[in-house]
Amino acid sequence: MKAIFKILFLILIVGFTSCSPKIKSNFTNPQPTLASDEKVALLDIEHKLPKNPIKVGDLRFQDSGFSTDCSFNSLMNQARIEARKSGANIVKIVEKKEPNLWSSCYRLSIELYSYNGDVSSLPQYKLTLD
């Protein structure tokens, strides 16, 4: 009977940890953390970076195989949270793979930047309600 509970517990743990997309991060130049109310610009591939931003690091969102909640808006919101933690106020997508036959998730490569100007004036992606 104890073996059954151990197996069910293990399945439950694996189920909860494998349902989110895998995030790989590399922060080469972290800045002071931003407050939750500070603006973060979300730049898609077609949006241009402003002049003289400081690169803070990179993020990569990948499908873990059993991922859920990995829509474009959800990943961009997670990227904004990670950006604030590392002191970045610009999230710039450099590679985007849309869901297809092999994966139901977006896969994104993102660069994070710190910029001294007004990021709210930059042309950018607007999050929509799902």
In a domain, 79, yes or no: yes
In a domain, 10, yes or no: no
Mean pLDDT of the chain: 84
In a domain, 52, yes or no: yes
Judged by DSSP in three states, 110 sits in: strand
Residues 23 and 106 sit within 8 Å (Cβ to Cβ): no
As for how many domains the chain has, the answer is 1
Q: Which pair of tokens denotes residue 29? A: 């130049």
In a domain, 129, yes or no: no
Q: What domain range includes position 40?
A: 17-121
pLDDT digit string (tens) for 39-49? 999 999 999 99
Strands 90-97, 107-114: pairing kind: antiparallel
Q: Which pair of tokens denotes residue 67? A: 């991922």
Query: What is the percent of the chain where pLDDT is above 70?
Result: 79
User: What span, in angstroms and rounded, lies between the C-alpha atoms of 124 and 119?
Assistant: 9
